[in-house]
Amino acid sequence: MKELLDQLIALAVEKVPLLGQAPDWVFYLLWMLVAGAALLVYASLIAGITSWVERRIAGRMQARIGPNRVGPRGFFQWIADGLKSLFKEDVTPANADKPLFRLAPYLVFTGMFGAWAVLPYSARLYAADLNVGILYVMAITSLVVIGILMGGWASGNKWGLFGALRSSAQIVSYEVPAGLAIATAVALSGSLSLQEMVRAQAGPLGILGWNIFKSPFALVAFFVYFIAAVAEGNRTPFDLPEAESELVAGYNTEYSGMRFVFFFFAEWANLFLIGAVSTTLFLGGWQGPLANPDTWWGVMIGAGWFFLKACFFVFVLIWIRWTLPRLRVDQLMAMCWKYLVPIAFVCLIGTMLWMSVFGDRAFFGLVAVGP
Amino acid sequence: MNLTYLAFVVMSAWVLLAALYVVTTRNVVRAAYGLLAALFGIAGLYVIFAADFLAAVQVLIYVGGVNILIIFGVMLTEHLGRVPFRLVNFNLFPALAACALVAFALVLGVLIYPWPESAASYAPTSARIGQMFLTKYLLPFEVASVLLLVVLIGAVAVARKEVRDE
């Protein structure tokens, strides 16, 4: 995408000579604005459509219909809902800490959306390839916790406060197994940059080089990461922060109108984010049959693989949500600290030992790869 | 005036204003969030100085970890955020002495250290940091990790004790 942009800039400078005198940072600023706007549209589309998909799948799983009135099979329901929320009254409770109450949804939204900037949608299609990519994803998503805490506290409502406390305790706890599982993938790929991690997973047939197939420990680490990511996303079976039966709606109880939508936008955008990061770390990102970073059609097929894999995870997440019951708080914490964290440590150390024995051989050490 | 310098000035002003807000506001919870803004600004300063790894870790550790714990602690105090407390403290001389000492150490450090004259190179730093940790700075690295382990075990011990007393 960067090369394409450079060509465009060269063309623009050729047509309008005056542009040639503009300093470099003007172009960088423009580039960032364009990339940001494109990503925002993409994320909004995905979050919106996911909201409709989730409600339809939920309906199917519970033997009811779900939204099917607006447009073909109810496809435009998400647009109708968005418009409706825009026109709804934005209520701020009298008891609330008003500036913090207003700020909180934006923080949640920014934290979730910031991570989209580094996702490797394809070999050439990404907004930024940071050298510390995966660390950046972990760091910027911690804004979500801050936003949830802020919103829950500023509501001046006990349900909100309880939801916020539960949510942040949960997210901070599950950050540990998630981080260890990510470290396993980083050790296998030898880089923190998401693009480099995907490139390191090239292999025969396009799938045998995936990190998940590199060692049995990585296979376990993948499931550890996925469970921890579900918990960090506050999704069922870990949706204690918004447990309807005990907390009304948790941290977003007092929110209405567009601010409420921001929280849910973040939740649905997070589904795709979990899928995209799991894919990048363990399932080869845009690697797949026929994907090739050197030809333009190979790049497009790679983008298709990435999207398909991420969407598969979105479906699994929805499936899990409408199948499993909710855990208790003590079960949640026991699962994290007594099971996932030790397992993740074993995975990390085991992967390192495995790598020192088998080196970079793919498919559980059976297939030799490498340049 | 070049842009890096401008960015540095803006970011420093941001950090200082946020820090000033932390010590002047009467609302403890807002002070905790002000600290968050200051820590974020410091990550911005690291970015300006081309320390990408440090910036990410700053946000990860201080914003995502330490600050959340502070907010947690503050939120669990009684009368949430409406604790009346005095902003002016009368331990003037110890405070002045401590400030002077810190300022002296900082200024001395800035003056003594041979700072590189060339502009920062925007090259990735994480690989080199890792190599340095495992070669030249192995001992400090290990000492720090032992310290963290001690803190971890200490925290567990403190938490266990309360359970046993019940």
Question: Do residues A8 and A77 both lie within one domain?
Answer: yes
Interchain pair A142, B60: CB under 8 A? yes
Whether residues A240 and A95 share a domain: the answer is: yes
Range of the domain at B148: 124-166
Task: Write the DSSP assignment of A114-162 as a string of letters.
Answer: HGGGG--SSSS--S---TTHHHHHHHHTHHHHHHHHHHHHHTT-HHHHH
For residue B143, tell me if it sits in a domain.
yes
A182 and A121 share a domain?
yes
Based on the fold, state whether residues B73 and B142 are members of the same structural domain: no
What is the rounded distance in angstroms from the CA atom of residue A358 to the CA atom of residue A352? 10
For chain B, say whether A139 makes contact (Cβ under 8 Å). Answer: yes
pTM metric for this prediction:
0.84
Residue B16's pLDDT is what?
92
Establish if B101 belongs to a structural domain.
no
* Chain B environment of A172 (Cβ under 8 Å): 64-65, 68-69
Last residue within a domain, chosen from A56, A87, A118: A87
pLDDT at site A123: 75
Q: pLDDT at position A33, please?
A: 86
A143 touches chain B (CB under 8 A): yes
Q: Is residue A76 predicted with pLDDT exceeding 60?
A: yes
Q: Residues of A with CB below 8 A from B67's CB?
A: 146
The Cα–Cα gap between A158 and A247 comes to 9
Q: Is there a contact between B68 and A146 if contact means CB atoms under 8 Å apart?
A: yes
| DSSP string across B75-91 | HTSSSTT-----S--S-
B147: which 2 tokens? 């310290």
The Cα diameter of chain B in Å comes to 65
Q: A14 and A57: one domain?
A: yes
User: Does B116 reside within a domain?
Assistant: no
If you measure CA to CA, which chain B residue comes closest to A156? B80
| Residues A97 and A12 occupy one common structural domain | no
Number of domains composing chain B = 2
The answer to the question of residue B1 being in a domain is yes
Domain harbouring B66, CATH code: 1.20.120.1200
Work out the burial of residue B119: count CB atoms within 10 Å of its CB; fewer than 13 is exposed, 13-18 middle, 19 or more buried. Answer: exposed
Mean pLDDT within A163-178: 84
pLDDT surpassing 50 at residue A371: no
Strand partners, A362: A367
Closest CA of chain A from B117, distance in Å:
24
Domain's final residue, options B50, B80, B110: B80
Quick check: B46 pLDDT over 70? yes
Inform me whether the pLDDT recorded for B147 exceeds 90: yes
Contact B56 A132 (CB under 8 A): yes
> In this structure, are A175 and A143 located in the same domain?
yes
Asked whether residue A170 falls in the same domain as residue A296, the answer is: yes
A180: how many CB neighbours lie within 10 A of its CB? 23
CB-based contact (8 Å) between B33 and chain A? Answer: yes
Structural domain tally of chain A? 2
Work out the number of other CB atoms within 10 angstroms of the CB of residue B65: 15
Separation in Å, CA of B86 to nearest CA in chain A? 21
Same domain, A134 and A275: yes
Q: Which domain holds residue A37?
A: 1-87
Residue keyed to tokens 């909710």 = A326
CA distances from B154 to A175, A176, B18 (A): 21, 19, 33
Q: Which residues have CB under 8 Å from A35's CB, separation 6+?
A: A1, A117, A127, A128
Q: Which of A32, A142, A161, A172 to mutate to test the interface with B (most CBs of B within 10 A)?
A: A142
pLDDT on residue A170 = 85
Closest Cα in chain A, distance from residue B124 (Å) = 6
Long-range contacts of B86-93 (CB under 8 A, 24+ apart): B87/B23, B87/B24, B87/B26
Say if residue B131 is in the same domain as residue B70: no
* E strand residue ranges, chain A: none
Min CA distance, B68 vs chain A (Å)? 7
SS3 A217: helix
Q: Mean pLDDT across the stretch A84-109?
A: 83
Residues A70 and A111 in one domain: no
R_g of chain B, CA atoms, integer Å: 20
Domain end position, chosen among A66, A87, A108: A87
A61 and A165, same domain (yes or no) = no
In a domain, B63, yes or no: yes
Q: What φ, ψ does residue A293 adopt, rounded to 5°?
A: -70, -5
Are the C-beta atoms of residues A156 and A95 closer than 8 Å to each other?
yes
What Å distances lie between residue A14 and A2, A33, A343, CA to CA? 18, 22, 59
* A25 touches B: beta carbon within 8 Å: yes
CA distance A166 to B79: 19
Same domain for A131 and A209, yes or no, is: yes
Is B56 near chain A, with CB under 8 Å? yes
Strand, coil or helix: what is A18?
Answer: helix
pLDDT, tens digit (0-9, with 9 covering 90-100), for A10-44: 666 666 666 666 677 777 788 788 888 888 888 88
Sign (positive/negative) of CA torsion A258, A260, A266, A269? negative
Amino acid at A91: V
* pLDDT value at residue B149: 92
Name the domain boundary from A87, A104, A128. A87
Q: Are residues B128 and B74 part of one domain? A: no
Judged by DSSP in three states, A225 sits in helix
- Looking at every residue in chain B, the average pLDDT score rounds to 81
**Same structural domain for residues B59 and B131?**
no
Q: What percent of chain B has pLDDT over 70?
A: 84
Chain B residues whose CB is inside 8 A of the A97 CB are 27, 29-30, 81
Q: Which amino acid is at A165?
A: L
Q: With an 8 Å Cβ cutoff, are B59 and A142 in contact?
A: yes
Write the single-letter amino acid at A125.
Answer: L
Residue B4 within a domain? yes
What integer pLDDT is reported at residue B78 of this predicted model? 57
B87 assigned to some structural domain: no
Taking an 8 Å cut-off on Cβ atoms, the answer to whether B53 and A132 are in contact is yes
Domain termination residue (choose one: B80, B111, B142): B80
Which of residues A85 and A290 earns the better pLDDT score?
A85
* Residue A307 identity: F
* Distance, CA of A149 to CA of A92 (rounded, Å): 17
Look at residue B30 and tell me if it is in a domain: yes
* Neighbouring residues of A136: CB distance < 8 A, sequence distance ≥ 6: A115, A118, A130, B56
**Chain A CA closest to residue B74:** A153
Do B73 and B132 share a domain, yes or no?
no
**pLDDT value of residue B165:** 53
Cα angle, residue A236 at apex, residues A344 and A339 outer, rounded to 5°: 25
Residue A81 and residue A97 in one domain: no
Q: Tell whether A132 lies on the interface with B, counting CB pairs under 8 A.
A: yes
Q: Which value does ipTM take for this structure?
A: 0.77
Mean pLDDT of the region B53-79: 81
Alpha-carbon gap, residue A156 to A94, rounded angstroms: 9
Q: Are residues B7 and B60 located together in one domain of the fold?
A: yes
